[in-house]
Structures are given as structure tokens and as C-alpha cells.
Amino acid sequence: MTVNITLLVVMGVLVAVGVYLILERSLTRVMLGLMMLANGANILLLATGGAAGLAPLYDADIPAGEYNDPLPQALILTSIVISFAVTAFMLGIIYRSWVLGRQDEVQDDIEDRRVANQPSFDAEDDTAIPVETTEFVTPEDADERPAAPKTRVRGQE
């Protein structure tokens, strides 16, 4: 199989630019990055078809090796349609995000922050259960135990 170096270089540049843009925080740039990435993938698919040849319309006189490989082109066509739909959707959602929040940036998840900042002590799970060694507690003993908020000592109520 012959490989077209120009196509590969273009593919590499597109993917590199795409990755760079995806790492930005601005949503529009992320979307442009995804488009670059999709185009890079399409060009790689095109490169897999080998050297350019004749249109793949069957003619008994032409030897099989002279035709172009039609399959990668069919794949590219499908993937162009798909990335078109996804780009349209992304544009819509970015516009919506701008309408709602007046900003074109990836936003933080508030719940994430809250979970990260919560104290490791949990009143429900981690409160120490006071030890009761005996059921027969004298009133003097019970008075000496102030740190037992939820314990009810039997016989005192």
C-alpha cells in the first residue's frame, strides 16, 4: 500500500491542533477542537485508501488494481454526516449555556465541590455510641456522664 505523506502530515497537524483546543476552557474552542479532530480522523481514513486511482465504476477492460478503494470514502461520508450532526448539537447547547449563564466556559460542578469540602465527620455515621456496661446505673453514676446526648439510661425516664 502506498502512503501519502502530505495527508498524514495534515492529519497530524489537525489532531494536534484539535487536542490543544479541546484542552481550553472556552466551549467554542472545545467545539472547534472536536471539529479539527473529526477532520483529522477523516483524513486518516482517506489515507488508508492508498494512492489515488480511477473512480470505482466497474469496467471489464480496467484491471482491478487501478480503481480507487471506495470503502474509506463511504466511511468518511458517514463520519462527516455524524460529526455535522454533533457539531450542530454542540452549537445549540453552547448557545443555550450562554443564554442561561452568559458565559462560554466549562462550568464547575457545585455538588462535586460540596462533597470535596464536606468534613470527614458525619453526625449520623460517626457519633460515638456511649458505652453502657450495666443496665443498673445508680443516679450518681449517671450524673457523672455529661457527654451522652442521645443515650437514654434505662430506669431514669
Asked if 153 is part of the footprint of other proteins (rule: CB under 8 A), the reply reads no
Name residues contacting other proteins, limited to 62-121 (CB under 8 A): 71-72, 75, 78-79, 82, 85-86, 89-90, 93-94, 96-97, 100-101, 106-107, 109, 111-112, 114-115, 118
Give the three-class secondary structure for 67: strand
At a CB cut-off of 8 Å and minimum separation 6, what does 44 contact? Answer: 7, 8, 11
CB 142 within 8 A of CB 156: yes
Asked if 32 is part of the footprint of other proteins (rule: CB under 8 A), the reply reads no
Select the residue interacting with other proteins from 7, 17, 34, 148 (CB under 8 A). 34
Amino acid (one-letter) located at 49:
G
Other CB atoms within 10 A of residue 84 CB: 12
Give the three-class secondary structure for 54: strand
Least separation in angstroms between residue 32's CB and other proteins is 12
Write out the three cell numbers for 7: 495527508
Residues near other proteins (CB under 8 A): 1, 15, 22, 27, 30, 34, 37-38, 40-41, 44-45, 47-48, 71-72, 75, 78-79, 82, 85-86, 89-90, 93-94, 96-97, 100-101, 106-107, 109, 111-112, 114-115, 118, 124-125
